A and B are shown apart, each in its own frame.
Chain A
Amino acid sequence: MSVDVKTDNALFELTLRMGDNALILGQQVSAWCGHAPVLEEDIALANTALDLIGQTTLWLGLAGEIEGKGRRADDLAFLRDTRAFRNALIVEQPNGNFGQTLMRQFLFDAWHLPMLTALKSSADKRVADIAEKSAKEAAYHLERSEDLIIRLGDGSDESRRRMQYALDGLWPFAGELTLADEIDAALATRGLAPALADIQTQHVERIRAVLKAATLKPPEGAPIRKGGKAGMHSEHLGFILADMQWLQRAYPGATW
């Protein structure tokens, strides 16, 4: 392993965070294939997963390039252990029932779109290009997830109860997406990524508006659950990786 490569660490972290969020969420959503409540949802979820896996390939490909140690997107996806993953905790939360999957998606999409939109003006052209392409997909995902949140929240008593339950459980994880650490601050100073406080405002406003239309109430005073961005994960991630990485681990060095 050569040690003379100078990795831009903050930029590397940014691409891992974006890539790992897309990867872990895409991986989880893809498990619905064939098991959704209606055929149209099977198709729509496969589509979302497909977009996210496509974005993963771009982000992790760039991460490998920035790192400069010859790791490709697949190496980063399939051969890192939990502590090296940089996704926020929300995306590794279990699929649960379909309502929980939708709520997780909505809370994520409502962050993803403003984040990608801001990254389109990143000082790094490669980051801006990926954001440009991904933002279109994220806009579509958000349109779909917020529409379903509203219809199911303001639906039957049963569907409202389930959506409120999903919100109560997932709400504490939403905050991590826009909680800035030193890396985020450094990225913002260099114009590589937006100040997360701005994204937070947009995230919260969008969520409030949709929840209001959905007749759902965010739980009050719930502390933010965080750690994933810094590699401190929940127990769920290990199982997700065990499933996802199994073939690569079982047959080291094989090409597929």
Chain B
Amino acid sequence: MYAQEVKSTGKGVKSLEEMEPQERAFQEKIDADIKIEPKEWMPEGYRKTLIRQISQHAHSEIVGQLPEGNWITRAPTLERKAILLAKVQDEAGHGLYLYCAAETLGISRDQMTEQLLSGKAKYSSIFNYPTLTWADIGAIGWLVDGAAIMNQVPLQRCSYGPYSRAMVRICKEESFHQRQGYDIMMKLVKGTTEQKEMAQDALNRWWQPSLMMFGPSDKDSVHSAQSMAWGIKQNTNDELRQKFVDQTVPQAEYLGLTVPDPDLRWNEEKGGYDFGEVDWSEFYEVLKGNGPCNAERMAARQKAWNDGAWFREGLMAHAKKREARKVAAE
């Protein structure tokens, strides 16, 4: 979901018998639920896939600051402002843990940043939608952080130690964000007619993009099998999407809001909701860079990076001077 379309090796999954002893030992560890740590041997494909997945996740946290940050200066009360600031700060912190986790796999944060800014690396499609009203801040916390949790809870059991540990810390904060988002929605639906309309409008706009966070349908998702064998993905996209719908629909009902899907209905037999097909053409357009805010998000990140060049260089120059003085004094 924060990593929606992580390209894997493209090869089929090998059986234990087909593997060389080193790889076989690696796979047996994973099968026995033993974590893989940075210094240990790992197949090149595993390392590369993880770098893609973790860096996509990290970039999503970083770009994800923007749509919500958009409302910090306009938050309606001091308390809401403080909560939103703390939330956006948490997301930046998530980005930081995740970049650190990816760095253990032999890529630097600057390299990852370069990949993001050049458009080579992806981030979650969800952050390419605009936050138009205050209700969007509620909807994001409730739905987007809700979907994030759905995906990240199983990742706490991921086979790669640093990623799994980062997820444990992150998940705690994400549940907090989701409760706060739901609380904003609750206030709105109990408020004036205009506030209630604002809440419904936000749900209307964020529902489909939230479902897209889980990535393409299983029948079109070509990278899952190997990632599952490697223990870096535990559930299929459709399984998680179903879980999310089942959890979220009753929450919407409790708010007195209508989920914008005419095909949504309870299916007694499967014990879950049936729901309409996601508009995948929109999803692929957004991934290609043609969503409503792709250009703005990239421009904002590029501007932050370019405008900050003198700052980073200034600090490096100072560190060099200090080092030179130390040497001279010795």
Contact = CB atoms under 8 A, between A and B. Distances in A.
Asked whether A and B interact, the reply is yes
Interface of A: 27, 30-31, 33-43, 46-47, 49-50, 53-54, 56-57, 60, 73-74, 77-78, 97-99, 150-152, 154-156, 158-160, 162, 243-244, 246-248, 251, 253-256
Interface stretch (B5-13, B27-35, B144-152, B304-312): B304-312
22 contacts: A33-B89, A34-B66, A34-B304, A37-B304, A39-B62, A40-B96, A41-B311, A42-B65, A46-B88, A46-B89, A46-B92, A50-B86, A53-B81, A60-B78, A74-B77, A151-B319, A152-B314, A156-B317, A159-B315, A159-B318, A253-B192, A256-B134
Interface residues of B, number: 50
Nearest to A23: B78
Nearest to A40: B96
B73 interface: yes
A39 B73 contact: no
A34 B299 CA distance: 12
Given A98-B308, A154-B318, A155-B317, A47 B77 contact: no
B194 interface: yes
Closest 9 CB pairs of A and B: A37-B308, A159-B314, A155-B314, A34-B65, A46-B89, A156-B317, A256-B76, A34-B69, A33-B69
B89 A47 contact: yes
A74 B78 CA distance: 6
Given A34-B65, A42-B65, 11 more contacts: A30-B73, A33-B85, A35-B303, A37-B304, A47-B89, A50-B86, A98-B307, A151-B314, A156-B317, A162-B314, A244-B73
Interface in B72-116: 72-82, 85-86, 88-89, 92-93, 95-96, 99
B305 A37 contact: yes
Given A247-B74, A248-B76, A251-B194, A38 B308 contact: yes
Nearest to B95: A39
B73 A152 contact: no
B321 interface: yes
A168 B92 CA distance: 33
B195 interface: yes
B63 to A, nearest CB: 8
B191 interface: yes
